[in-house]
Amino acid sequence: MKRISLRFLSLLLLLCTVVTLLAACQTCAQHKDADRDGKCDVCSAAVEPCATHKDEDKNGVCDICYTTLSVCRAHKSADRNGMCDICGAEMPAWVDYVAQTKLDMSSETLKEEVTVKYLIDGDTTHFNSTLGTNGIAKARYLGVNTPESTGKIEEWGKPASNFTKSKLENAHSIIIESDGASWEQDSNGRYLLWIWYKPTADAEYRCLNLELLQEGLGRGASSSEGRYGASCVAAMAQAKAYSLYIFSGDKDETFPYDEAVEVSLKELRTNITEYEGLNVVVEGTVVHNSDWTVYVEDYDAVTDRSYGIQVFYGYISGLNTKLAQGNRVRITGTVQSFFGTYQISNLTYKPLRPEDPANTVVLSEGNTPLFTEIDPADFEKDVTIPVTKVDEAGESYEKYVTFNSAQLLVSSSVSMKDLYVTSVYTTSNTSSDDYGAMTLTCTAEDGTVISIRTAVLKDGDGELVTASYFRNKTIDVKGIVEFYQPEDGEGKYQIKAYTLGDFNVR
């Protein structure tokens, strides 16, 4: 028995030695150095200071590596309680410069109470007003420049735009104010204004320009020169000191970063060659879905036009129902040339990560396609519109560019009235999927010739609709603008109609 006990003890001692040696050869998943001697208390490995310290108990010491955190490189106080969220250090007391700044209705500046027509982005809004064309004042906010959210989307652009939207959509009253004794406009015809809103009937007016700076959702734009310049400069300095939003160093959770470039459909269509081959994120309403392809469009209030893109989603399971007509969607994919025009393909779909900003998701349902009514004479006329460009310093600016109108309308929904069908061509190849589809050559009252391409149309009894249904008739039509490039010959723009219900024949 003694011999067995001695052997057992020997084996136990050997096992303990091996375990000790193995432990010495490994490092901890998370080092601790409470005595601050530069070595881990558990595995004795050298402990370097953390790349990002944490001090949740705000005792001035990092919870992980125990480095003293007397002062952060940049304090942060998201709750604005006068204490740094990271190191607990005291910060200057929060000042509400917006509440301190009052609207003086008796001053020499011009003022007008208005309502919102279109919310464009963080620092641009169109108001129903006695100013401007057709009773619409296009306003550019004085003193502040928020990140872009209508062209090439920038980091923090959407939070700034959403902040402005939340204040103005729910406002009891809105007043626009000039900076001096007259209404001034910029080179793009936008009125340079201070925007005041009253949150409730019994509240005081608050200056939205100033509030965007105070919240860290914009940078100054000649802020010190304006009527409320001193408050603007102080508010932005405080936002920097408190490391709010664009000054935080944090990531914008709504922004896709390196995974894709977020752009508006207007930006994409007007600068399409610059995005070929790139991954993009776009938002729009599905106006048609067939053959694994959808057409997505969005209205741009600045140019008063609709812009669309063809999207090929292939055979990705689950996307067919998500991309149903009327759904407003956010799509991530690659821009590619496609038979003389462009489409988005290679869609990113992550059904288990619906909140991922680089994903294809449904934003809302039940939206109505625009089917913008177009005068036939204007279908292919030249139009000049403002386009967002970026200079060598990376700053955005607007440049007026001339386009063919139909070129901009490709993949958008349109409607036309009073077209006389002069001839009909029918696809007669019985082996073709397009057997029975027609091309209607139509003439408008002013002599403009418009081409309408139909899908294979069936009547209520399921019978094929033929040329006699349209020939020598006057029609109204709604459909999707497309570019048709024959194998030989010049390409042309036409309207594609998909169902018999897209026509009114008389």
Query: All domains of the chain, ordered by start, with CATH?
Result: 38-70 (no CATH), 98-247 (2.40.50.90), 258-370 (2.40.50.140), 413-505 (2.40.50)
Contact status, residue 333 vs residue 311, Cβ threshold 8 Å = yes
- pLDDT of the residue at 24: 43
- pLDDT of the residue at 11: 58
- pLDDT of the residue at 64: 75
- Kindly tell me if the per-residue pLDDT of 78 is higher than 70: yes
Using the CB atoms, write b or e for 66-86: b if 16+ within 10 Å. bbebeebeebbbeeeeeebbb
- Kindly tell me if the per-residue pLDDT of 23 is higher than 70: no
Contact status, residue 309 vs residue 269, Cβ threshold 8 Å = yes
CA dist list (Å): 429 to 114, 403, 433, 486 = 60, 37, 9, 16
- pLDDT of the residue at 104: 97
- pLDDT of the residue at 264: 94
3-state secondary structure of 289: strand
Q: Which helix (H) or strand (E) holds 3?
A: helix 2-25
23 or 110, higher pLDDT = 110
How far is it, in rounded angstroms, from Cα 295 to Cα 478? 14
Q: What tens digit of pLDDT does each residue of 205-253 get?
A: 999 999 999 999 999 888 677 899 999 999 999 999 899 999 988 889 8
- Residue range 326-343: mean pLDDT, rounded: 90
DSSP H stretches of helix in 83-143: 97-100
pLDDT band at 1 (very low <50, low <70, confident <90, very high): very low
- Kindly tell me if the per-residue pLDDT of 9 is higher than 60: no
pLDDT band at 65 (very low <50, low <70, confident <90, very high): confident
- pLDDT of the residue at 3: 45
Q: What is the overall mean pLDDT for the chain?
A: 87
State CA 433 to chain mean position distance.
37
Q: Which helix (H) or strand (E) holds 144?
A: strand 143-145
CB atoms within 10 A of CB 491: 12
Per-residue tokens: 201: 């009937």
How far is it, in rounded angstroms, from Cα 121 to Cα 267? 14
- Residue range 401-424: mean pLDDT, rounded: 96
Q: What tens digit of pLDDT does each residue of 355-394 get?
A: 788 789 999 999 999 999 999 999 999 999 988 877 666 6
How far is it, in rounded angstroms, from Cα 123 to Cα 161? 8
- pLDDT of the residue at 22: 43
How far is it, in rounded angstroms, from Cα 242 to Cα 78? 7
- Kindly tell me if the per-residue pLDDT of 453 is higher than 50: yes
Q: Among residues 205, 192, 202, which one has the least CA distance to residue 104?
A: 205
Contact status, residue 470 vs residue 441, Cβ threshold 8 Å = no
- Residue range 324-339: mean pLDDT, rounded: 91
How far is it, in rounded angstroms, from Cα 405 to Cα 376? 11
- Kindly tell me if the per-residue pLDDT of 32 is higher than 50: yes
Q: Which helix (H) or strand (E) holds 440?
A: strand 438-443
3-state secondary structure of 280: strand
Q: Among residues 85, 62, 398, 101, which one has the least CA distance to residue 230?
A: 101
- Residue range 184-199: mean pLDDT, rounded: 93
How far is it, in rounded angstroms, from Cα 74 to Cα 244? 11
The CA angle 199-204-206, to the nearest 5 degrees, is 70
How far is it, in rounded angstroms, from Cα 231 to Cα 214? 9
pLDDT band at 86 (very low <50, low <70, confident <90, very high): confident
pLDDT band at 499 (very low <50, low <70, confident <90, very high): very high
Per-residue tokens: 487: 């194998």
Percentage of the chain exceeding pLDDT 90: 58
- pLDDT of the residue at 487: 64
CA dist list (Å): 250 to 18, 20, 88, 156, 255 = 46, 43, 19, 10, 11
- Torsion-angle region of 503 (φ positive above 0: left; ψ -120 to 50: alpha; else: beta): beta
Contact status, residue 477 vs residue 416, Cβ threshold 8 Å = yes
DSSP secondary structure letters along 302-355: TTTEEEEEEEE-TT-TTHHHHT-TT-EEEEEEEEEEETTEEEEES----TT-TT
133 or 360, higher pLDDT = 360
328 or 315, higher pLDDT = 328
Strand 191-198 to strand 279-290: parallel, antiparallel, or no bridges (unpaired)? unpaired
pLDDT band at 2 (very low <50, low <70, confident <90, very high): very low
Residue 133 half-sphere exposure, CB side, CA atoms within 13 Å? 5
- pLDDT of the residue at 89: 78
The predicted model scores a pTM of: 0.67
DSSP secondary structure letters along 166-218: HHHHT-SEEEEE-SSSS--B-TTS-EEEEEEEESSTTSPPEEHHHHHHHTTS-
3-state secondary structure of 223: helix
- Kindly tell me if the per-residue pLDDT of 70 is higher than 60: no
